[in-house]
Amino acid sequence: MINDKNLKTYSTSDVVNYYQYLQQLQPAEETIIKLLKNKLSNMRMLDLGVGGGRTTKHFFPLVQDYIGVDYSVDMIDACQKRLSQSYPSIKLRLGDARNLSQFEDNSFDFILFSFNGLDYISHEDRLKALQEISRVGKSGGYFFFSSHHLQAIEKAFEWQHHLSFNPFKTYVNLIMFAFLRGFNASINYPTIKENNYALLRDESHNFRLQTYYIRASEQIKQLEPLFTDIKVYSWKTGLELTTNNKMIDCSDMWLYYFCRIK
C-alpha cells in the first residue's frame, strides 16, 4: 500500500536524520503564531506529524498543553532524544492521523499538521484523517496544515517549460524532467490538467515518496463539510491568498490552510 511504503521511507535513518536537524519555522507558520499569539497560552495543542521536533521548540513554550504525534516510531525516538533535556515534560506519542482513537472527542483547541504530512496517505485515508482531526478538535478550535499545490507542478510535466537560454540549465532541467516522467509514467500534462488531485513521485527524498498534490479550490471543498473560515496562505511569503486567481497563480510547491472546526 502507498502509505506503508511512505512509512518505510520515513523510518529510514537518512530521512530521520534529515528531520531531526531541521530548526526553522516556515513563513506561513510564523504568520499563524502572530495571528494566535493572544490565544495560544490557553490552548491545548496537537502537533501531528511532529517528525524530529522542528515545530515543537517554537510552539511548546507558547501553549498551555502540548502533545506531539507521529506514525514513525523512529521519528518519535529521534524527537525524544532531541528535546527531552530542554523540555523534560514533553509529551510525544506514536499515533496515526487516520485513527486518533487514543484521544477523546473535543480534546484540542489547536491542531497543526505541518510539512505536508497529510499528503503521504491515500485519498480515502486523507478524508478519514480530516474526519478524525475534526472529531478530536473542539468546535471553534483551529486546524492549520500544509499540502502540495497541484497547479504549481503542472508545468513540470510540460517539457517546453524546462528550456532555458542557459544550455547547462536546460540540460539539468531536462534530466530532472526525465526522472519525473520516469517515476510517473502513467501521468502527463493533459492528465494533470484534467484532475483536481494526483498522487505523484516527486523529488522528495530521491523520489521515494508518493505524494498527494491538490488544487486549492478542491482542498477547500474537502474541508467545507467539517471546517469553516477557511483561509489559504503562501508557504514562501506567509501572506494570505485572498482570491481563487491568486491561489491559481501562486507558484509555491505547497500552500498552507488555516480553518476553524465546526
Burial zone of 183 (CB within 10 Å; 0-12 exposed, 13-18 middle, 19+ buried): middle
Arithmetic mean of pLDDT, 61-72: 96
Write down the pLDDT at residue 2.
Answer: 44
Q: What is the pLDDT of residues 146-192, one digit of tens each?
A: 999 999 998 888 877 777 888 778 767 777 778 888 989 988 888 89
- 210, β-bridge pairs: 201
Cα 2 versus chain centre, distance: 16
Nearest Cα to 11, choosing from 94, 116, 67, 83?
94
Residue 170 CA neighbour count, 13 Å, CB half: 7
Q: What is the pLDDT of residues 43-56, one digit of tens each?
A: 999 999 999 999 99
Sequence-ordered alpha helix ranges (H) in 142-251? 150-154, 167-183, 189-194, 216-223, 244-249
Terminal alpha carbon distance of the chain: 32
Q: What is the pLDDT of residues 222-260, one digit of tens each?
A: 999 999 999 999 999 999 999 999 999 999 999 999 999
Residue of higher predicted confidence among 205 and 199: 199
Q: What is the pLDDT of residues 2-14, one digit of tens each?
A: 457 888 888 999 9
Q: Is the dihedral of CA 185, 255, 90, 140 positive or negative?
A: negative
Domains, the chain, ranges and CATH?
2-150+210-261 (3.40.50.150), 153-194 (no CATH)
Distance (Å, whole) CA 16 – CA 12? 6
Rounded to 5°, angle at Cα 204 from 199 and 205: 125
State the average pLDDT for the chain: 92
Nearest Cα to 198, choosing from 160, 189, 71?
189
Distance (Å, whole) CA 159 – CA 23? 35
Write down the pLDDT at residue 1.
Answer: 40
Nearest Cα to 147, choosing from 203, 194, 217, 237?
217
Owner of C-alpha cell 479550490: 217
Distance (Å, whole) CA 188 – CA 144? 31
Owner of C-alpha cell 498552507: 256
Write down the pLDDT at residue 171.
Answer: 66
